[in-house]
Structure 1
Amino acid sequence: MSRTPVIVIFDVGKTNKKLFLFDEQYRIIFERTARFTETTDEDGDPCENLESLRLSVFDSLMEVFKRKDIEVKAINFSTYGASLVYINEQGHPLTPLYNYLKPYPAPLKQQFYETYGGEAAFSVQTASPVLESLNSGMQLYRLKYERPEVFKTMRYALHLPQYMSYLLTGVACSDITSIGCHTNLWDFSNNRYHDWVKQEGLLDKLAPVMASTDVLPAAFPGNNYHVGTGLHDSSAALIPYLVNFHEPFVLLSTGTWSISLNPFNNTPLTAEELEQDCLCYMTFQGKPVKASRLFAGYEHEQQVKRISEFFHQPAMRYRSLDYDASIPLLPAGNFADRDLKTFSSDVAAYHQLMYDLAVKQQHSTGLVLKGVVVKRIFVDGGFGKNVIYMNMLAMLFPDIEVYAASMAQATAMGAALAIHHTWNRKSLPNNLIDLKYYSVQQDAAL
């Protein structure tokens, strides 16, 4: 029996940890989802169970390699960002995997920004809003000053995707998609580490940078396969779109956060844009991607609870409501401040919620559209399945084609596509993404 060549992708989110096997046509032939119980760090703050994650990689691969119907050609990783694993010379973690929501000490934050030019100027240089622990470079700075004995014995600080790769290769490396993602580490104007990294003696603690398209030989037992260096998940999710579309577009990736990514906007971030939650990501080719963020998915979740409880309706009902253009809408505002008694029905209230969110999204996405002619907006994730939201977004962007874009696991597929040339004998496919077009008046499937 001939064995099917596959690539194994570990896609590690904050909540779900997924394993995928893709064949050479990028069809998913196997998937598994797991959740791990969080543990706590030395301060009692919740954090990822790093040991459970490590063991799950090894256990999963041992199962995969037992299969007789497949041949593993490559392995790669995509994970959430802003998370560092500090390893010693033997590769063992020295601390818990600190949560990027861990409170940051105010005196240390003040010390950092006063030393390096102030928040506004520094943020412009690093394309990083002031996000405290979400700026992963600040986590490393904190370790140096709060736990100098750990800092001294640390060999490398690896971002989580690269730690996952290290588990299978024993080779420590850094990757530009992680370094360039609101870390405070990268000087975007000079395309190198920021001067503070050298001044604080951190350069030796950061592993050599390798290209996102590079692969390494595996140290983990199995057949002769390649291992990628891993990617930050937001950058990975953009790859299928960059592969399939070459005319300028914006990808609106929706989930807890709605992130507008414009890989065709190379203008430097301004202080005003940074104050409005703009930032830069890096493509897997090392090019800046101007982006803006909106906490829309979280707001949607909270307000749907409020509507369903007030009108005594199940929350699931709002996942499949049809768009009704005849429902009158109030001027856009903050839905959380609205009195639900003013709405004639839960359907009217929900339409208003989606309109309020869509108008906020219009502003947020507009920040990355300035100065660039974009023909299409692709909406990926949960909101792309919401016909009310999609119709309202099309109405608010009448001069741009708005599409709901769906594909099987964009983040995982992006990690597979990044190292396509190392494992796949076939050409890159051009049918990875299904599009549904929304006009101002009506929607029509392509």
Structure 2
Amino acid sequence: MAIPVTAIFDIGKTNKKFFLFDENLRELHHEYFKLTPTLDDDGFECDDIYVLCNWIQNTVRKITSSGEYQLKRLNFSTYGATLVHLDADGKPVTPLYNYLKPFPDDICDQFYKQYPQDEHNLHTASPALGMLNAGLQLYWLKYTKPQVFQRIRYTLHFPQYLSYLFTGQLVSEPTSIGCHTKLWDFSRNRYHDWVYTEKIDHLLPEIVPASKTFQTIIGGHAVKVGVGIHDSSSALAAYMMRTQEPFALISTGTWSITLNPYTKESLTRDELNRDCLNFLTIEGKPVKASRLFLGHELDHHLRILNDIFHKEARYYKQIKLQDSFLKKIHNHELTPSFYPATIANPLLSQDVFSSDNWKPNNFESYEEAYHHLIWGLTLLQVASARLALGNSDVKKIYIDGGFIDNDIFIKLLQYYLPNYTIEVSHMPLGSAHGAAMIMQGKQVELVV
């Protein structure tokens, strides 16, 4: 007998993954896909949407034809800040623009001259982040590539495009809208006025709950296909659906996002300036979130350390926390020397690091330099987490994602957050698990 399964494509910025879960949400299978970057029409590196979609569609065909599995449900979680623009034939008009792509200063100035930045940032609960403000990508296209913009008939967030490949249904959903897109007015619980002023509202399809599914035929069998979900929000949903106790989630990876769905505090300008913002839950309710480019920063410095000390790429994984190092921290015998190189957020780190004299080649060993590196990253993470925690009643923190196996990071985090119960989650990658849970019958009511 074929095993009934739920299939999840979990598309991160760094890792592209595929999971199969059984009816009890136990992982049966997973695989990774290495996507070679391509260049967009301006020569900037981006994911190749055609190669990625071919892998996704071929993988689904392989599962449905294997005879080993009965595909009953299919869903998608993806990184945010990414839009797919479709023409009248439903085909992509542009490359899958990278959210790290520089946003032109003149277009940024033009936008904020029309829509004053301080007020706009507060209402949309997002700092000015360039292409990471996905909604501004439409504004950028309108004024820098008008011929391309004129071809756009619909704009989908990335998860909803992957769903559209199988259903043909054009929809939007709250977690993708709410992740620092600058599209949503959190003070009025609707699209911001600029969306209507610029006449882009007609490009954005109907908003549906994250639990919405469409039944379609794949490989001759009826399959329920979800509308997709933003990956960090999906990880949060997995915890919200299985616990009633107030908590925060630190979801680690290329980005480390601290998510607190139990805060009632409004964002302040200072918090916005320190990369703290609001997301939306699967129900469309605000979540206080602080972001840190943690994995990206770690990768940057690992390359430097590996080169200095002539170590192979994964050498750092075998290093454990030395008790003597923690004792020196406790006794205030160490001064942080690490200073972030790729995190352009001095307001976050100015109260953590005393200098920018990070010279890893001055350390006697890889191990010593690595301890200082992780110590610095942990201090950044603690500062970031405290922004999202605020004055809420949360006393429990879950941690999942790529950093949970980093022994030094986890132990230092526990050391610096002694008033919180920290639980490391070894669930099969929270975002995939959340997307699967939603498909297993968890219905939500949209409040937007």
Task: Spell out the pairing of 1:395-414 with structure 2 (5 A cutoff).
Answer: 395-414=415-434
* Matched pairs, number: 421
Counterpart in 2 of 1:358? 378
Match of 1:279, as an amino acid? L
Match of 1:271, as an amino acid? R
SS of 1:385's equivalent in the other structure is coil
| Residue 74 (structure 2) pairs with residue 75 (structure 1) | yes
Contact (CA 8 Å) 2:172, 2:205: kept in 1 or not?
Answer: yes
Counterpart in 1 of 2:353? none
- Is the alpha carbon distance of 1:32 and 1:192 closer, same or farther for their aligned partners in structure 2, counting shifts above 3 Å? same
> How far has the Cα of 1:312 moved from its partner?
4.8
Counterpart in 2 of 1:133? 131
SS of 1:86's equivalent in the other structure is strand
Cα deviation code 1:228-265 (max 9, x no counterpart): 10111111111221122221212111222222111111
SS of 1:384's equivalent in the other structure is coil
Match of 2:416, as an amino acid? L
Contact (CA 8 Å) 1:253, 1:379: kept in 2 or not?
Answer: yes
Counterpart in 2 of 1:379? 399
- Is the alpha carbon distance of 1:310 and 1:230 closer, same or farther for their aligned partners in structure 2, counting shifts above 3 Å? same
Cα distance between partner residues in 2 of 1:346 and 1:356: 15
Counterpart in 1 of 2:58? 59
Cα distance between partner residues in 1 of 2:361 and 2:305: 10
Cα distance between partner residues in 2 of 1:56 and 1:232: 20
Counterpart in 2 of 1:100? 99
Q: Given the two structures, how large is their TM-score scaled by the length of structure 1?
A: 0.89
Structure 1's unaligned 5+ residue stretches are 424-446
Counterpart in 2 of 1:89? 88
For CA contacts below 8 A with separation 6 or more, give which structure has more relative contact order. Answer: 2
Contact (CA 8 Å) 2:64, 2:218: kept in 1 or not?
Answer: no
- Is the alpha carbon distance of 1:351 and 1:49 closer, same or farther for their aligned partners in structure 2, counting shifts above 3 Å? closer
SS of 1:15's equivalent in the other structure is coil
> How far has the Cα of 1:277 moved from its partner?
0.8
| Residue 282 (structure 2) pairs with residue 278 (structure 1) | no
Cα deviation code 1:168-188 (max 9, x no counterpart): 111100011110000010001
Match of 1:331, as an amino acid? T
Cα distance between partner residues in 2 of 1:208 and 1:53: 26
Q: Percent identity?
A: 43
Contact (CA 8 Å) 2:171, 2:208: kept in 1 or not?
Answer: yes
Cα deviation code 1:386-415 (max 9, x no counterpart): 222222211111111122221112211111
Q: Which moved further from structure 2: 164-173 or 46-55? A: 46-55
| Residue 400 (structure 2) pairs with residue 392 (structure 1) | no
- Is the alpha carbon distance of 1:133 and 1:341 closer, same or farther for their aligned partners in structure 2, counting shifts above 3 Å? closer
Match of 2:185, as an amino acid? D
- Is the alpha carbon distance of 1:339 and 1:106 closer, same or farther for their aligned partners in structure 2, counting shifts above 3 Å? closer
Match of 1:50, as an amino acid? I
> How far has the Cα of 1:140 moved from its partner?
0.7
SS of 1:163's equivalent in the other structure is helix
Contact (CA 8 Å) 1:385, 1:404: kept in 2 or not?
Answer: no
Contact (CA 8 Å) 1:247, 1:375: kept in 2 or not?
Answer: no
- RMSD value over aligned CA atoms? 2.1
Q: Which moved further from structure 2: 156-165 or 86-95? A: 86-95
- Is the alpha carbon distance of 1:299 and 1:100 closer, same or farther for their aligned partners in structure 2, counting shifts above 3 Å? closer
Cα distance between partner residues in 2 of 1:5 and 1:293: 37
SS of 2:314's equivalent in the other structure is helix
- Is the alpha carbon distance of 1:5 and 1:371 closer, same or farther for their aligned partners in structure 2, counting shifts above 3 Å? same
SS of 2:96's equivalent in the other structure is coil
Match of 2:318, as an amino acid? S
Cα distance between partner residues in 2 of 1:349 and 1:62: 47
Q: Given the two structures, how large is their TM-score scaled by the length of structure 2?
A: 0.88
Q: Which moved further from structure 2: 157-166 or 19-28? A: 19-28
- Is the alpha carbon distance of 1:91 and 1:220 closer, same or farther for their aligned partners in structure 2, counting shifts above 3 Å? farther
Counterpart in 1 of 2:27? 28
Match of 2:246, as an amino acid? P
- Is the alpha carbon distance of 1:18 and 1:300 closer, same or farther for their aligned partners in structure 2, counting shifts above 3 Å? closer
Contact (CA 8 Å) 1:259, 1:292: kept in 2 or not?
Answer: yes
